[in-house]
């Protein structure tokens, strides 16, 4: 368990010093195996002081196991965790400067709101007056000051979530872990709570690590995201990095929707690539990717980066393809078009509904041209 930190990965050339703002939480080669199954596989990661770091992944990706190792509920099979320069390996959960907001909230059902929030402070042996004051302050911050005497079963889901947050925050942890913090709330409340969570985080300056399977939640909450798949972190970056420049096919496909097709590189130059693709015709990109002519790559284009028109674009030889509209889904703010191209594949295109009641909207069955800018396609080699 006390193995030396692994060599720095290529994506992270400047290794932050232990306890620095950039390396506030440092994971090195962190691994957890349950019998034959490796839940978390040699994860090395730096989390910055004061940021909201979102671990995003599907079920079984290892994100919850990673979080439970940070809390101390699971003992790593290998690797180490440092928080603010201190190795956590030998420190039990009840002595870690870490608090967790559980997915089920795990409020103590036999205690009032006030007693729930005071529980953590009571373990520190603070005076009654101090406890009362701090509990009052944090309950005011989460706007639950009027409900101190209620029991958890007398609260709504949103109120319970606030109490759970207050209880985890009242000890001013160095690190707050949030396990699917918004999963139990309905859609409207979720959106509202998201912004409030960011607000509170900025006010208190506590470092948050959020685990979620909901990419929308991760995008709005996170200053940075770590996308997990099969126990590994496949990409770390800002929400726009992850969305606009996915590192591989898994990330491109997992985050948002995407039209992604294999193609063969015809020309490779400093100005970009020309790729021949059965579904999209000739795709020209204006960004250079080192892959070698003749190699197979994947071209990914987000649905909102494709325009749809009745007339052919001026340079119809490349970055344009003709197809027939098969389905139109009107979503209010935007419409989704499923367009069948010559190869028979359906492409997904979204258009914002900028005007009210267009005169001659594109209808199902129409033949249309799809085109995109050279900056839109992402070329993926893995």
Partner 1 sequence: MRLSQAAGRRVVAGIPLLWLLLLFLIPFVIVFRISFAEVRLAIPPYTPLIDWRHGTPSLQLHWSAYSFLFTDSLYVSSYLYSLKVAAVSTLCCLLIGYPMAYAIAHAAPAWRPILLMLIVLPFWTSFLLRVYAWIGLLKNNGVINNVLLSFGIIHQPLALLQTDFAVYIGIVYSYLPFMILPLYTNLEKHDPALLEAAADLGARPLRAFVRVTLPQSLPGIIAGSLLVFIPAVGEYVIPTLLGRTDQLMIGRVLSDEFFENRDWPVASAVAILVLLLLVVPILLFQRMQRRELEAAR
Closest Cα to residue 74, out of 51, 98, 55, 54?
A: 98
4 within 8 A of 26, measured Cβ to Cβ: no
- Distance in Å, CB of 336 to partner 1, minimum: 39
Candidates 99, 215, 371, 376: give the one binding partner 1 (CB under 8 A).
Answer: 99
Q: Which residues inside 12-71 make contact with partner 1, applying CB under 8 A?
A: 71
With binding defined as CB under 8 A, does residue 277 bind partner 1? Answer: no
The side-by-side arrangement of strands in the sheet containing 378-380 is 281-285, 272-277, 259-269, 296-301, 378-380
Q: Where are the alpha helices (DSSP H) in the chain?
A: 63-71, 113-122, 128-141, 157-169, 187-204, 215-221, 239-244, 249-254
For partner 1, how many residues bind (rule: CB under 8 A)? 24
Contact between 119 and partner 1 by CB under 8 A: the answer reads: yes
Write down the H helix ranges in 171-306: 187-204, 215-221, 239-244, 249-254
Q: Report the residue number, 35 or 332, with the smaller CB distance to partner 1.
A: 35
Question: Which CB atom, from 111 or from 362, has the smaller least distance to partner 1?
Answer: 111
**CB 167, min distance to partner 1, A:** 7
Compute the distance between CA of residue 28 and CA of residue 183 in angstroms, rounded to an integer.
29
d(Cα 329, Cα 353) in Å, to the nearest integer? Answer: 12
Beta bridge partner(s), residue 370: 308, 321
Name the minimum Å distance from CB 69 to partner 1.
Answer: 13
Residue in the structure block whose two tokens are 């759970």 = 164
Q: Which position among 94, 203, 314, 357 is part of the footprint of partner 1 (CB under 8 A)?
A: 94
89 is an interface residue for partner 1 by CB under 8 A: no
Which neighbouring-strand residues pair with 99? 176
Asked if 120 interacts with partner 1 (CB under 8 A), we say: yes
Cβ at position 26, least distance to partner 1 in Å: 21
Residue 167 interacts with partner 1 (CB under 8 A)?
yes
Residues that bind partner 1 in the complex, under the rule CB under 8 A:
71-73, 92-95, 98-100, 102, 104, 106-110, 119-120, 123-124, 167-168, 171
């Amino acid at each position: 368990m006390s193995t030396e930190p692994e060599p720095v990965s290529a994506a992270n050339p400047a290794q932050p010093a232990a306890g620095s703002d950039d390396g506030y939480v440092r994971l090195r080669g962190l691994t957890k195996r349950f019998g034959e199954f490796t839940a978390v596989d040699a994860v090395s990661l730096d989390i910055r002081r004061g940021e909201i770091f979102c671990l995003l992944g599907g079920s079984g990706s290892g994100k919850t196991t990673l979080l439970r190792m940070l809390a101390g509920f699971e003992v790593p099979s290998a690797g180490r965790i440092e928080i603010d320069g201190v190795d956590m390996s030998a420190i039990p959960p009840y002595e870690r400067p870490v608090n967790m907001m559980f997915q089920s909230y795990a409020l103590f059902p036999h205690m009032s709101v006030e007693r729930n929030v005071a529980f953590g402070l009571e373990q520190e042996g603070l005076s009654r007056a101090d406890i009362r004051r701090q509990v009052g302050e944090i309950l005011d911050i989460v706007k639950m000051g009027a409900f101190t005497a209620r029991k958890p079963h007398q609260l709504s889901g949103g109120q319970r979530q606030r109490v759970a947050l207050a209880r985890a925050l009242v000890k001013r942890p160095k690190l707050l872990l949030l396990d699917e913090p918004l999963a139990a709330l309905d859609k409207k409340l979720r959106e509202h709570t998201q912004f409030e969570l960011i607000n509170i985080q900025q006010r208190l300056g506590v470092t948050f690590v959020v685990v979620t399977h909901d990419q929308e939640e991760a995008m709005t909450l996170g200053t940075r995201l770590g996308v997990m798949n099969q126990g590994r972190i496949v990409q770390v970056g800002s929400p726009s990095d992850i969305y606009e420049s996915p590192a591989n096919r898994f990330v491109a496909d997992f985050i948002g929707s995407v039209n992604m097709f294999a193609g063969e590189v015809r020309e490779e130059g400093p100005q970009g690539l020309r790729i021949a693709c059965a579904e999209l015709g000739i795709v020209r990109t204006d960004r250079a990717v080192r892959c070698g002519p003749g190699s197979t790559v994947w071209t990914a284009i987000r649905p909102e980066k494709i325009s749809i028109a009745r007339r052919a674009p001026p340079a119809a030889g490349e970055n344009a393809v003709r197809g027939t509209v098969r389905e139109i889904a009107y979503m209010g703010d935007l419409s989704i078009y499923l367009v069948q191209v010559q190869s028979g594949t359906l492409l997904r295109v979204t258009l914002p509904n900028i005007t009210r009641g267009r005169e001659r909207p594109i209808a199902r069955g129409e033949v249309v041209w799809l085109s995109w800018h050279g900056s839109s396609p992402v070329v993926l080699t893995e």
